[in-house]
Structure 1
Amino acid sequence: MDFAIRRAAADEYETLGEITAQAYLQDGLLDFGESDAYLGELRKVAERATAAEVLAAVADGRVLGGVTFVPSGGPMADIARPGEAEIRMLAVAREARGRGAGEALVRACVDRARAVEGCVRVVLSTQRTMRPAHRLYERLGFVRTPDRDWNPLPGLDDITLLTYGLTL
């Protein structure tokens, strides 16, 4: 399938937010299901687009998935340190998976990071159960950085996020 990776358009934000929310829900990545507070964050693409670059994979006018790219020092960063860019909220619609959109979105983020002056590394967080994503990151040269693993909800040990980094 041919698709393009580009900045998400404002009229695509709602669709992309729903793709992201459904990807997390359908893959069992939200501990509290529909009542999970993070679900609302996943849907707030317009808000993310004011603080970071939201990219979309699009084919035949249809959004297949997206990712949030946070350049060095961006306000949406969770774990990025000075000189690092961060990838967040990568999601591809279930029916579009296996066609390379996720990989193309990650590669686009890496390319953007290389274009950011002073950026020497790309980092990301992922859940333990996101094994297909882990394989993708490792295939693209990302390595685990267990010393940076973190918990967005302290006190709930089963929510510890794994981290990866790619030196540019």
Structure 2
Amino acid sequence: MDLVIRPAEPDEYGPLGDLTARAYLRDGLLDFAESDAYLGVLRDVAGRAAAARVLVAVGDDRLLGGVTFVPAGGPMADIAGPGEAEIRMLAVDHAARGRGCGEALVRHCVERARAAEGCRSVVLSSQRAMRTAHRLYARLGFVRTPERDWNPFPELTDLTLLTYQLTL
């Protein structure tokens, strides 16, 4: 399979939003009180593209996955500080998993960060249940930064997000 990573095109925003929402739902990652609101955020690719860089993985003439790359200082950053880029909302269609799409998307983000002047690291947040993603991050050199773990909904004590960092 020829895999291409490139910026998302406007006509892909809807399909990518649906793919991302399906991936999070199928993996059981949205079983908390704010899931409906966050589903809207996952589906709003146009909003993300206006504030960050949305990338897609395309293979065999179909959309296989996507990720949001937030350059240092970008308005969509959750945890990134000065000199840090952030990876958000990585999702791969269930049928395309195991083909290297997620890894290719993360590697592309890392290369974008390396090319950005003044960017010293890449950070990301991940739910505890995303064990396959955790293995990918470790394989690519990301390390856990438990001192940065955080909870987007403090009233939900079981939703602490794990954080990772790759020093460039």
What band does the TM-score fall into relative to the shorter chain?
over 0.9
Matched, 1:125 2:106: no
Q: CA deviation at 1:2?
A: 1.7
Distance 2:136 2:36 in 1: 26
Letter aligned with residue 114 of structure 1 = R
Structure 2 counterparts to residues 1-168 of structure 1, below 5 A: 1-32=1-32, 36-168=36-168
Name the TM-score, length of structure 2 as normaliser.
0.97
Distance 1:133 1:18 in 2: 20
Task: Please tell me whether the aligned partners of residues 20 and 66 of structure 1 are also in contact (alpha carbons under 8 angstroms).
Answer: yes
- Structure 2 segments unaligned to the other structure (5+ residues): none
Name the TM-score, length of structure 1 as normaliser.
0.97
How many residues were matched structurally? 168
Task: Please tell me whether the aligned partners of residues 25 and 33 of structure 1 are also in contact (alpha carbons under 8 angstroms).
Answer: no
Distance 1:73 1:117 in 2: 12
Sequence identity (%) = 75
Alpha-carbon displacement from aligned partner over 1:33-70 (angstroms, at most 9, x marks no partner): 89521011000001100000000000132110000000
Per the alignment, in what secondary structure is the counterpart of residue 157 of structure 1?
coil
Alpha-carbon displacement from aligned partner over 1:98-124 (angstroms, at most 9, x marks no partner): 000000000000000001100000000
- Structure 1 segments unaligned to the other structure (5+ residues): none
Distance 1:141 1:51 in 2: 27
Per the alignment, in what secondary structure is the counterpart of residue 158 of structure 1?
coil
Distance 2:26 2:33 in 1: 9
Q: CA deviation at 1:148?
A: 0.1
Per the alignment, in what secondary structure is the counterpart of residue 158 of structure 2?
helix
Task: Please tell me whether the aligned partners of residues 77 and 86 of structure 1 are also in contact (alpha carbons under 8 angstroms).
Answer: yes
Task: Please tell me whether the aligned partners of residues 141 and 166 of structure 1 are also in contact (alpha carbons under 8 angstroms).
Answer: yes
| RMSD, aligned α-carbons | 1.2
